[in-house]
Structure 1
């Protein structure tokens, strides 16, 4: 328990809580809207923004956020064109971002000490700036969901029907793509580019084994996501392994346990009904 006295661990706990709220909201939309592959493309495209930040001498997080938002808009625009398939548009920005990031990192003078933390994550390196970024995004996303909840829900489940009801589908899609991009960049410190998309999908998949209600999935995703982070941090501290990988490893185990429990519950329920 002595580790709780250290500031870096307190920041990790607070950061994991804020990230769980943020990913619970945004991740539920991603899973419901089936945007997992698009989000993966945005995640890897953000590496181009990190590389630009290194070369230009500005904050890699800010440059990655701007680059990711533009990439998200580009994927959204290209995928709605009749001559470009969605997976092709994702591949373009995915590979462009990764190649640009690699080129910029090799062109940057000196060694980039934070590169492993961006690629693989290290929640214990979260500072006050990262906490402020997470906190600001949590407030922003929460306000958007409160004000536009019904429209977001309609677009998430059936965009074509929402468009027939004269709802602002295009505005919501671009707005949510921007929020997805910002959420991905804000969580890079925790789990890195390689594993970031997992934090936005696995807790939601686990929550979906418990309920199919959109609001309840959000609530359960927040709780499950934070539990995953706490257990992952404990595993990381015990085995002295990277925290990002530990969090995702634990979240997958929790999902498997929930899935098996759901299957066993359904089987026992059917046995009772047959009797």
Structure 2
């Protein structure tokens, strides 16, 4: 079963996958419980355009896509802070415009010969060493960010007015959280694709909340479930020859059903 790890590319995929899982699970509750669960989906559309432009303008598309998506994430945060405009509206506007631009560029761009399908479904088994290292660094930074600002993030997530009353730097934390999500999406799109990357953010919290009795437990259980789902998905996809990103999402779905079933049984 584990003979697959004799291949370096499988080890790289597992390391990158676990790093992505930890990053997503740490960000998940603060996004899900503040009604921003779909921001990762919107970011994935923006990342699509960033990567497309990166392919055309540079040999290293990642270096172009990262600042592009981070700037777009700041635009979403800024627009959503205006009266009468909620987060969903801001995400919809910016992501729709970005995706439209990306599709136009991909269609009419001179010499564009990259596979759009690979951007849609991802390919975690073909990641580079640079991408793996970048994702591990991101995971470390996200963990540090959450640990250092845990109480402030918790306060901001459930009651922003109270957080401001407590002198929490809500605006700075909001922009930082959004930027971290944007970077996660850019690095994750290469692995899971634009169609599935949002699932990495959504599933950990909704699975963990079935069993947890506190926010901290939700965060911890989410990380555990995310890592387990990532590991099972990668191993299963290798042996079954299924698309890796899709198999990981199915593993996350199975964990959610198990958690929900356990909650119902325990409740009865």
Q: Following superposition of structure 1 onto structure 2, how do residues 163-174 of structure 1 map, counting pairs within 5 Å?
A: 163-174=164-175
RMSD: 1.6
Distance 1:173 1:77 in 2: 10
The TM-score, its normalising length taken from structure 2, stands at 0.93
Distance 1:129 1:54 in 2: 17
Distance 1:132 1:204 in 2: 26
Distance 1:108 1:212 in 2: 55
Q: Following superposition of structure 1 onto structure 2, how do residues 110-259 of structure 1 map, counting pairs within 5 Å?
A: 110-113=112-115, 115-259=116-260
Provide closer, same or farther for how the CA distance between residues 108 and 57 of structure 1 changes in structure 2, counting only shifts above 3 A: farther
Between stretches 173-182 and 37-46, larger displacement belongs to 37-46
Structure number, greater radius of gyration: 1
Deviations along 1:113-157, whole A, 9 cap, x unmatched?
4x3332111111122111111111122112222222211111112
Q: State the partner residue of 2:100.
A: 99
Provide closer, same or farther for how the CA distance between residues 213 and 62 of structure 1 changes in structure 2, counting only shifts above 3 A: farther
Q: Does 1:35 align with 2:36?
A: yes
1:20–1:223: 8 Å Cα contact kept in structure 2?
Answer: no
Distance 1:2 1:212 in 2: 39
In the alignment, structure 1 segments of 5+ residues that lack a partner are 268-275
Q: State the partner residue of 2:90.
A: 89
Q: Does 1:266 align with 2:264?
A: no
Shift, 1:58, TM fit? 4.1
Distance 2:111 2:213 in 1: 51
Distance 1:177 1:61 in 2: 18
Distance 1:168 1:241 in 2: 45
Q: State the partner residue of 1:63.
A: 64
Distance 2:40 2:231 in 1: 24
Q: Is the partner of 1:200 in helix, strand or coil?
A: helix
Q: Is the partner of 1:232 in helix, strand or coil?
A: helix
Shift, 1:22, TM fit? 1.0
Q: State the partner residue of 2:15.
A: 14
1:51–1:100: 8 Å Cα contact kept in structure 2?
Answer: no
In the alignment, structure 2 segments of 5+ residues that lack a partner are none
Between stretches 212-221 and 184-193, larger displacement belongs to 212-221
1:228–1:247: 8 Å Cα contact kept in structure 2?
Answer: yes
2:208–2:218: 8 Å Cα contact kept in structure 1?
Answer: yes
Shift, 1:112, TM fit? 0.6
Distance 1:159 1:174 in 2: 14
Shift, 1:227, TM fit? 1.1
Shift, 1:25, TM fit? 0.8
Q: Is the partner of 1:224 in helix, strand or coil?
A: helix
